[in-house]
Structure 1
């Protein structure tokens, strides 16, 4: 879906939620192959039984990628991703855990150099099926302004 929004159209506090997505063993194996991260925490079920969590853990980068992908439901030709800040892996995600994502507009601010754009900060929280936070971050968007700010 295409939704055209300028910087001025974003409202702090606006929130959207995703459907759930269950993390599978295949997700972990494919991610390990794509990234080269074959650490035993992700790949060795027997070794993991001897560790605190007792089972394999999904890669944090896998959870981040899947969760952010879940929020990508619209295309705004007036905005683009500007990056991510304050990324934290709060709890491990295991095989068969289901994650849901809440994305909330947390802040709008001027861009330090571009008068024609502003920065919209979307707070991201990913939770498991027990509603426990597993990952949080800030997604920054560079968004075109309808009216450029004064250079003054």
Structure 2
């Protein structure tokens, strides 16, 4: 869905939750090939049985990619990504886990270019048990309605 939501129209603490997405073995294998990250935590089930998590876990960068991708259900035509901050992977994600993201407007601030404002979205990714698996801040550069 495409929208035009200007800086002035963002409301602090408003939030939305995305649909879910199940993480598959194919996701992990493809991500390993694309990123070059073939660490045994992701690729070697037998080795993982000797480790605290006991099973292969998804790459943190894969969970970040899927989590952010889930938020793209809504595309704001007057905003663009300015960056990400405070990225943390708080719990492992396993093959077969279903994740969804909650996006909450955490802060608004002026920008050095007066025609824009900065909006900080807190992006939280949860598994099917409602356990937090990833959190970060997504910074948006958003056009002002009144320039």
TM-score between the two structures when normalised by the length of structure 1: 0.94
Using the TM superposition, give the Cα deviation of residue 88 of structure 1 relative to its aligned residue in structure 2, in angstroms: 0.2
- The structure having more radius of gyration, on CA atoms, is 1
Shift of 1:82: 0.7
Whole-Å Cα distance in 2 between the matches of residues 51 and 95 of structure 1? 16
2:140 alignment partner in structure 1? 141
Query: Which residue does the alignment assign to 1:5?
Result: 5
Q: Equivalents in 2 of 1:54, 1:77: separation in Å?
A: 44
Regions of 4+ moved over 2 Å? none
Query: Where does residue 52 of structure 1 map in the other structure?
Result: 52
Q: 1:75 offset after TM fit, Å? A: 2.1
Tell me the SS of whatever aligns to 1:96. coil
1:78 and 2:83 aligned: no
Residue 12 of structure 2 aligns to a residue in which SS?
A: coil
Please show how residues 66-145 of structure 1 align to structure 2 within 5 Å: 66-111=66-111, 113-145=112-144
Instruction: Give SS of 1:31's match.
Output: helix
CA drift of 1:74 comes to 2.0
5+ residue gaps, structure 1? none
In the TM superposition, residue 5 of structure 1 has moved relative to its aligned partner by 1.2
Could you tell me which residue of structure 1 aligns to residue 61 of structure 2? 61
* Structure 2 unpaired stretches of 5+: none
